[in-house]
Structure 1
Amino acid sequence: MEGLEEKTENMDYLPDDNSRYKDVDYWDDRYKTEQCYDWLGSFSKFQHLIEQHIKKDDSVLILGCGNSSMSADMYNSGYRSITNIDYSSVCISTMSARHSDCQGMTWHQMDVRQLSFPDASFDVVLEKATLDAIMVGEKSPWGVSPETAHFIHKALTEVSRCLKPGGRFVSVTFADPFFRKRLYAKTEYDWSIKKYSYGEGLEYFVYVMTKGEELSPEDAALEKKLLEDTEPKPPTVSSAQSEDEEDFIANIDI
C-alpha cells in the first residue's frame, strides 16, 4: 500500500516507515510545521460527488480532518454544520484557531474508535484517506492484519452508531472495490454500499454507505464468502486413517 501520499508531497514529512502513519506523535510533530496538505486531491476534485449525497443543511462529521482545506472548502460552499475530529491535539488546536471565524464549525480531539457523540447524531460521516492512513503499513492489500482489522471494525461500528437513519457514511479513498468492500460489506453495520470514482490518470474512489438500507445481493454474497473463508475447517481424514479406525472398531470385543 505504498504511494498513499502524492508526488507533490514535501519529502520532509514522509515517515521513515509507513507504520508511523498510525502514530499520533508523528502527526503531532508534522502538524507543528506543515500548514496544509490534501490527500487524494482538493475538494474541488470530488465536489460534484459530495453535492449529490450531502445536502447543505446536513449535519456532517469529518473523521481525521488533519490540516486539509476540505472542511473550509465545504464551509465556503455552503455547508454550515461541520464537526471535525482528529486524534492529534496539535492539529485540532491549530485548525480551531485558523477557522475560528467559521460559525457552526467545531473541532475536537478524538479517536475514531471511541466517538464521544450520542447515537444517531449526524446525517453524514465523511472521511478522506483517514482509513487509508491506518492501513498503509500493511504488508499486502490482499488481507489486513488482525490488529488493523479490529481497529477498522471498531471505527466503522462507531460510524454506524452515530449515523441517523438514512444517514450516509462517505469514504474517499484510493482503494478499489475489490479491497475496500471487504471491510465495508458487513450486515451488522446496517448500510448499503454504492461506489463512485474521480480523477484523471490516477483514479480515486468515493463509497457512499446509506444507514438502514440492506446490502445488495452482490455485497451480501461477498460478506458470506469472506465469513466462510475465515471459518475454521474440520480436519481432513485420510482414507488410510479412516480404514485403521474402522479396523480398530471392528476388533473391539463387546
Structure 2
Amino acid sequence: MNRDYFPENNSRYKDVDYWDERYTTEQCYDWLGGFSKFQHLIGKHVKKEDSILVLGCGNSTMSGDMYSAGYHSITNIDYSTVCIDAMSSRYSGCSGMTWLQMDVRQLSFPDNSFDIVLEKATLDALMVEEKSPWSMSLETATLIHQALTEISRCLKPGGLFISITFSNPFFRKRLYARTQYDWSIKNYSYGDGFEYYMYVLTKGEILSAEDAALERKLMEDEPSDPPTFKEEEQEDNFLSTIDL
C-alpha cells in the first residue's frame, strides 16, 4: 500500500472527506488480500445466481473478480460518491452489477432483499479509533449495532452475512453473538503467514450453545449498554499495519 494514503490519525478512516480525496487519485486497493485469497471459501457458500450486496466496496477489485468468476447479481454500496462514480464507470459493461452511494447504517433496501451480504474490512474501518481489542466505546458499539441490525433486516431467510476481517473469533464473536440478529455463526480462516478470518452468519438459524453462552455472559457483564472495557493499550493503526 502506498503510504501517501495513510491518514494522519485513525479517526479519518471514518471521515467521508478522507475517502473522497483518496479515491480521487488511488485506482484500487484490496484490504485483507484479493478475491483469489478466499475464493475457495466463497465458492462453498455463495451460489452463482445469488443476489449479493457488497458493503463498503471501495475501489477493491473484489466485485469485479467475483463478476468474472460468474457472480453476476452484485449490488455495491459505499458512502463515498467519488468512489461510486469511479467504480460505476469502470465496470459499466458488467450487466447486473450496480453501484450506489449509501451508509451501511441506513440501507435503503426493503426487508429480505438479498441472499448474501458481504463485507471485507468495512466494519474494521468503523472500529479504527478503538485503542484495544478489549475496548469498545459506546459510540462505536452503537455504530456497529446499527450496521448489523440493517444487515440482518436486508437478508432473506436463510441468507448469509459474510464478514471478512483480521479480527479473530475471540473478539469478533462478541459483536455478532446476539439473538436479536437472528443468525448462527461459523468462522473460517485464510492467508499465508498472516491469518485472516471469514465469518458466515446464517439468518434464521439459532446461535450455537457456545455462542448463546457468550451472549449471556456479555449481557450479564453489561446488562444495559454495549460492552465497554478499561482502555489499557496504546492506539494501534490497525488498518495501516495489515501485512498483505
- Which structure 1 residue ranges, 5 or more long, are not aligned? 1-8, 233-254
After TM superposition, give the deviation of residue 144 of structure 1 in Å: 1.1
2:104 to 104, 108, 112: 112
Mapped partners of 1:175, 1:19: distance in 2: 19
Work out whether 1:47 is the aligned partner of 2:39: yes
How many equivalent pairs are there? 224
After TM superposition, give the deviation of residue 137 of structure 1 in Å: 1.5
After TM superposition, give the deviation of residue 143 of structure 1 in Å: 2.2
Identity of aligned residues (%): 74
What letter corresponds to residue 223 of structure 1 in structure 2? Answer: E
If asked which structure has higher relative contact order (CA below 8 Å, sep 6+), I would say 2
Mapped partners of 2:223, 2:101: distance in 1: 38
Q: 1:155-202: per-residue Cα shift (whole Å, max 9, x none)?
A: 000000000000000000000001100000000000000000000110
Mapped partners of 1:202, 1:150: distance in 2: 30
Mapped partners of 1:19, 1:137: distance in 2: 6
Aligned to 2:165: 173
Aligned to 1:4: none
What letter corresponds to residue 222 of structure 2 in structure 1? Answer: T
Secondary structure, counterpart of 1:194 in structure 2 = strand
What letter corresponds to residue 101 of structure 2 in structure 1? Answer: Q
Name the TM-score, length of structure 2 as normaliser.
Answer: 0.91
Work out whether 1:229 is the aligned partner of 2:221: yes
Q: 1:22-48: per-residue Cα shift (whole Å, max 9, x none)?
A: 000000000000000000000000000
Mapped partners of 1:137, 1:10: distance in 2: 21
2:87 to 91, 95, 98: 95
1:182 to 174, 177, 182: 174
After TM superposition, give the deviation of residue 219 of structure 1 in Å: 0.2
Mapped partners of 1:219, 1:201: distance in 2: 28
Q: Equivalences for 1:1-254 in 2 at 5 Å?
A: 9-231=1-223
After TM superposition, give the deviation of residue 19 of structure 1 in Å: 1.0
Mapped partners of 2:33, 2:116: distance in 1: 21
After TM superposition, give the deviation of residue 139 of structure 1 in Å: 1.0
What letter corresponds to residue 129 of structure 2 in structure 1? Answer: G
Mapped partners of 2:92, 2:197: distance in 1: 31
Mapped partners of 1:114, 1:11: distance in 2: 31
- Which 4+ stretches in 1 moved above 4 angstroms? none
